[in-house]
Structure 1
Amino acid sequence: MKSVVQEKSEEFALRIINLYQYLTGRETNREYVLSKQLLRSGTSIGANIAEAEYGISKDDFRAKMYIALKECNESRYWLRLLNKSRYLTKEEFDSIYKDSEEILKLLASITKTTSDKIKK
């Protein structure tokens, strides 16, 4: 059974893939550079969470989850740039950015809790 963070990161990755297809497939105002960066970081979140699931130690688990956290934060950067450069409407941006915020909070909590447990 998938955890909440696994499910949310997978759903987010699918939204990122759809956004990439939308941004690169438009007739006018196509965007390739920022959207490719977003595609990489946005799909990497779930991949790192999947790797963490079978980490060889608590430290390995924490490291992979921390990488997922960093990738989520990077994705948020690319989303802000796409919004500020007007490739995304405010509504499009707000919707997907909210999803990234939920994932970021979950990952921050997981990495903190794991770090606290390792210190004990």
Structure 2
Amino acid sequence: MVGDNEKLTSKCKVDLARMPPCQSALMPHIQRVNHRVALYKRAHEGILERPKPYDQGQGWTKNAGRVLEPVWCLKPILPVSLIDLLADGGCGEEDDEEDEEEDEEVDFDAFDESDDEF
């Protein structure tokens, strides 16, 4: 497990899906949700004054085909230093072979069932 004494490398088994979103990914999501909630809260009004969803700070953009697309992140998703680390480490076949060799080294015959006390 990655902790104080261990560094995060490509061989670490960390489930990145369990990590919370970063600030630059969370803000556009909050802006989109805020836009929708504002519409629902004012739905009972006859004349609805609202900003356009593609206005600045609403979490949406218009593409060339004039279709709304969500803003996923305000900044690059990965810092350049991490991209370089992942590019250098790589996930080649050598890593897979090493993992398979480690799995094969377990000797299950060494366990003697006669020593168990039940």
Q: TM-score, normalised by structure 1?
A: 0.31
TM-score using structure 2 length:
0.32
More strand by share: 2
Structure with greater Cα Rg: 2
